[in-house]
């Protein structure tokens, strides 16, 4: 069978690219090595982790704050098995939705591992047979896998990654997490909320290394309150496991003294690597860069100009919405259009509670780039809305250019920061100033009033409520 476009990988990059190609009239096929569509994000990433984050947060609130709200529960129990079952239902519904979308858009689905064999041909190796598929153009959207160094002895039973952690059905007594990045803190929250003693070992001196220093500090404080213990500036040297649990050896970054800790599980969350195993890249003249990524030009074309690559397998943030934008970009570029992606305005969100979100530059980046800036900061606790809901933790920070007042970065930690960041993204897309942001009417009482106040601060005006 010959197609105008074949997409390899059905994650948010791949399935969105396939839909857009089909919408634009291209005869499209998609290849997926697993039985379900949706990739990391839908099966073992964004969706299942958010399902467990929501369930565990409900339990946490019932346990810790309901009584203050005047809601008394006599006997309360966290049922992790049910949480995981509900999560599986959410995942199934979401993946089935992608299957439906493929059918609706007339996209042929091939299940099996795709490998290039010639410039315009690939083989799809399924459980029972290998199918040959020909294409004019191809999009590589093969995503990423967790990094699991040999010294950590990843065994999928006691030494695990996020993939296995999402399916633990009995509440562990203790869990060691390596890495205080997004996965470590999101999944650390899930387990800490339902009663697991969580210990996080992180190489850097802060959690969420690439994010704003104030939001990072606030989040660490909030996570300590739910019982998470941090060893910052420490590196794990070895992990050993047996049937019952794990032994984790670690040390202070500049010391030789080895420390030890034991737990039921050790979760490795130290980043992900682009996944290109057995893809036959040598058959089409593509070589990887020094970090295992597929190099692309500004049109997301690989060294073979008729083959494009998008999402986690190329440079840039490993985020579902970044992969989606790239999927749409490639389809429209192939169609002769002139699409554009503003990489600076791809927001980042961490779904802990309080939530963390950010768009644009951090103060650190602006200093490094020599760009003069002003800052406005507003604490959530000063809002009536926060007091009403008891969500008083966090702050919003608006950074604008010192001379032009253009908004350069917005950083948030607080209730519903995940959704609130869109105000900043939209305004920054239109190159608004902090004064524009401050003059927009924000409904009262909402958490968004903190955005207005922080913007007021950045303009040099006086805050209204502190």
Is 351 a binding residue for ligand NAI by CB under 6 A? The answer is: yes
What is the CB-side half-sphere exposure of residue 307 using CA atoms within 13 A?
27
Is 189 a binding residue for ligand FAD by CB under 6 A? The answer is: no
**Radius of gyration over alpha carbons of the chain, in Å?**
24
How far is the CA of 409 from the CAs of 36, 70, 398, in angstroms? 38, 39, 6
Only one of the segments 37-45, 247-255, 336-344, 408-416 lies at the binding site for ligand FAD (rule: CB under 6 A); that segment is 37-45
User: Quick one: 337 exposed, middle or buried, by C-beta within 10 A (0-12, 13-18, 19+)?
Assistant: exposed
In angstroms, the first-to-last Cα distance of the chain is 67
Residue nearest to ligand NAI (CB): 181
Is 186 a binding residue for ligand NAI by CB under 6 A? The answer is: yes
CB 91 within 8 A of CB 42: yes
Site string for ligand NAI, 306-345 (x = CB under 6 A): -----------xxx--------------------------
Instruction: Output 122 or 165, the one with its CB closest to ligand NAI.
Output: 165
Only one of the segments 32-40, 211-219, 283-291, 369-377 lies at the binding site for ligand FAD (rule: CB under 6 A); that segment is 32-40
Say how many C-beta atoms besides its own lie within 10 A of residue 229's C-beta. Answer: 14
Tokens of 17: 């690219």
In angstroms, give the least distance from the CB of 464 to ligand NAI: 32
Is 84 a binding residue for ligand FAD by CB under 6 A? The answer is: no
Tokens of 45: 């990433």
- Give which of ligand FAD, ligand NAI, none residue 269 binds (C-beta under 5 to 8 Å, depending on kind): ligand NAI
CA 152 – CA 167 distance, rounded (Å): 20
CB 466 within 8 A of CB 382: yes
In angstroms, give the least distance from the CB of 422 to ligand NAI: 15
Residue 243 DSSP SS3: coil
In angstroms, give the least distance from the CB of 11 to ligand FAD: 2
444 a catalytic residue: yes
Is 45 a binding residue for ligand FAD by CB under 6 A? The answer is: yes
Only one of the segments 140-148, 195-203, 232-240, 394-402 lies at the binding site for ligand FAD (rule: CB under 6 A); that segment is 140-148
CA 452 – CA 442 distance, rounded (Å): 7
In angstroms, give the least distance from the CB of 236 to ligand NAI: 4
Is 235 a binding residue for ligand NAI by CB under 6 A? The answer is: yes
Q: Which residues contact 83 (CB under 8 A, 6 or more apart)?
A: 51, 52, 55, 56, 194
Enumerate binding residues for ligand FAD (CB under 6 A): 8-14, 31-34, 39-41, 45-46, 49, 113-114, 141-144, 162, 183, 275, 279, 311-312, 318-321, 323, 351
């Amino acid at each position: 069978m010959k197609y105008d476009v074949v997409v390899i990988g059905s994650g948010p990059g791949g399935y969105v690219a396939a839909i857009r190609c089909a919408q634009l009239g291209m005869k499209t096929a998609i290849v997926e090595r697993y039985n379900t569509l949706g990739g990391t994000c839908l099966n073992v990433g964004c969706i299942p982790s958010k399902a467990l984050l929501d369930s565990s947060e409900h339990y946490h609130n019932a346990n810790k704050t309901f009584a203050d709200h005047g809601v008394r529960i006599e006997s309360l129990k966290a049922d992790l098995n049910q949480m995981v079952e509900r999560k599986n239902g959410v995942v199934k519904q979401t993946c089935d939705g992608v299957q439906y979308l493929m059918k609706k858009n007339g996209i042929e689905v091939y299940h099996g591992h795709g490998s290039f064999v010639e410039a315009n041909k690939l083989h799809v190796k399924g459980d029972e047979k290998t199918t040959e598929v020909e294409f004019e153009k191809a999009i590589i959207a093969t995503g990423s896998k967790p990094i699991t160094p040999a010294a950590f002895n990843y065994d999928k039973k006691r030494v695990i990654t996020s993939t296995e952690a999402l399916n633990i059905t009995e509440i562990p007594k203790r869990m060691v997490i390596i890495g205080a990045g997004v996965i470590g803190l999101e999944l650390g929250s899930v387990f800490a909320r339902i009663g697991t003693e969580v210990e996080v070992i992180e190489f850097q001196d802060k959690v969420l290394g690439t994010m704003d220093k104030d939001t990072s500090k606030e989040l660490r404080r909030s996570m300590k309150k739910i019982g998470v213990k941090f060893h910052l500036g420490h590196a794990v040297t070895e992990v050993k496991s047996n049937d019952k649990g794990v032994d984790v050896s670690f040390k202070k970054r500049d010391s030789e003294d080895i420390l030890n800790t034991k737990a039921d599980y050790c979760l490795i969350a130290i980043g992900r690597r682009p996944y290109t195993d057995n893809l036959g890249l040598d058959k089409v003249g593509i070589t990887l860069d020094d970090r295992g990524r597929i190099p692309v030009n500004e049109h997301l074309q690989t060294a073979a100009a008729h083959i494009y690559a998008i999402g986690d397998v190329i440079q840039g943030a490993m985020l579902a919405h970044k992969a989606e934008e790239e999927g749409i970009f490639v389809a429209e570029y192939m169609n002769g259009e002139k699409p554009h992606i503003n990489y600076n305005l791809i927001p980042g969100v961490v779904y802990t509670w309080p939530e963390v979100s950010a768009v644009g530059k951090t103060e650190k980046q602006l200093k490094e780039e020599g760009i003069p800036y002003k800052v406005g900061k507003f604490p959530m606790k000063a809002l009536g809305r926060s007091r009403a809901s008891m969500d008083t933790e966090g702050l919003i920070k608006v950074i604008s250019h010192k001379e032009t007042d253009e908004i350069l970065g917005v950083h948030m930690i607080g209730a519903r920061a995940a959704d609130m960041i869109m105000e900043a993204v939209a305004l920054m897309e239109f190159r608004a100033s902090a004064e524009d942001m401050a003059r927009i009417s924000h409904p009262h009482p909402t958490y968004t009033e903190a955005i207005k106040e922080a913007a007021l601060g950045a303009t040099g005006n006086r805050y209204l409520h502190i």
